[in-house]
Amino acid sequence: MTSIARQDPPGLAELFVFYAEAGAYDALTEEPVDRFAEGARLAQPAQPPAQDGARQSPVSEAAPSAPRTPFRDQQASPAPRPAATAAVPDEAQAALARELAANASTLDELRQHMAAFDGCNLKFTAKSMVFADGNPDGAVMLVGEAPGRDEDIEGLPFVGRSGQLLDRILSAIGLDRTSVYIANVIPWRPPGNRTPTPHETEICRPFIERQIELANPKLLVTLGGPSAKTLLNTTEGVLRLRGNWRSHTTKTGTVIPTMPTLHPAYLLRNPAHKKLAWRDFLEVKARLRSLT
């Protein structure tokens, strides 16, 4: 980060620290927005409405009634992104996602349908759609929660620190990205790595369900609580779920043995629990052997 010069407005350093701690590392627009100048403008007494049909100032044009957030503000300013208006998650969008997912007859088609889908607001703050990595013909499919910063930049799942740990775990049981297929419940990074809302998850659910159905793995591994809850339709916590085989049933009735385990990011924060994940992956290895 560039150093903060003395003449910068008071509070700027604290603002940057606040953004960094909230996980907001990336600019969403090419041009920075001067929030201090904007605050000063908004503090001025309101002008009477123009009587002559003249255009209102950009500030009053853009003034939304909803509370402002940095992300919403940045979407309202000129940006190279195609959609300036965030989609509102609702049942109609979930229905459209279900229809698009059902109409995809290959993984490539599914990827295209997802890329064309504008019904999830996360798409408008993410840099890329993170569809999958690895081998779609692999016997094992792993599903995480949602991309983080590194994944958003590279457009691939699990490439950051937690991905490196995942690769080491896979390698310890004789697997790698040529033999497993990896995806996420949500293909777009939530801003600041916030937890996806239940609405966002429900909107994206048909896509990951169809992705699993089309990949048709022999075994499924859910990484972390949100993935387990979504794919196993349960509200149980991951520490209770993990280590026990469950079933994921696809829309067309195929039952896929599923091992819920801990998320690699959680393991990085709680290294003492790595032994639990290790046990889970040994289960996966044993089950895989029994299938061949």
- The residues that touch ligand URA, with contacts defined as CB under 6 A, are 144-148, 151, 157-158, 162, 184, 265
CB-closest chain residue to ligand URA: 144
Write down the least CB distance from residue 200 to ligand URA, Å: 14
CA-to-CA dists, residue 126 to 86, 87, 192, 193, 226, angstroms: 12, 13, 10, 10, 20
Under 8 Å between Cβ of 132 and 143: no
Write down the least CB distance from residue 272 to ligand URA, Å: 20
| Choice between 75 and 230, CB closer to ligand URA | 230
| Choice between 119 and 187, CB closer to ligand URA | 187
Q: Give the DSSP letter of residue 57.
A: P
Write down the least CB distance from residue 13 to ligand URA, Å: 29
| Choice between 68 and 127, CB closer to ligand URA | 127
Cα–Cα distance, 145 to 179 (Å, whole number): 21
Task: Give 14-21 contacts, CB < 8 A, sequence gap 24+.
Answer: 19/70
Write down the least CB distance from residue 265 to ligand URA, Å: 6
| Choice between 119 and 157, CB closer to ligand URA | 157
- Give the residue from 265, 191, 192, 253 showing the smallest Cα distance to 227: 265
| Choice between 76 and 156, CB closer to ligand URA | 156
- Give the residue from 153, 272, 167 showing the smallest Cα distance to 223: 167
Write down the least CB distance from residue 158 to ligand URA, Å: 4
Q: In what order do the strands lie in the sheet with 255-261?
A: 133-134, 180-184, 140-144, 219-223, 255-261, 246-249
- Give the residue from 290, 288, 262 showing the smallest Cα distance to 274: 262
| Choice between 145 and 280, CB closer to ligand URA | 145
Write down the least CB distance from residue 214 to ligand URA, Å: 19
The residue type found at 288 is L
Name residue 62's beta-bridge partners: none
In sequence order, which residues have a C-beta less than 8 Å from that of residue 233 and are 6 or more positions away? none
| Choice between 38 and 150, CB closer to ligand URA | 150
Write down the least CB distance from residue 78 to ligand URA, Å: 30
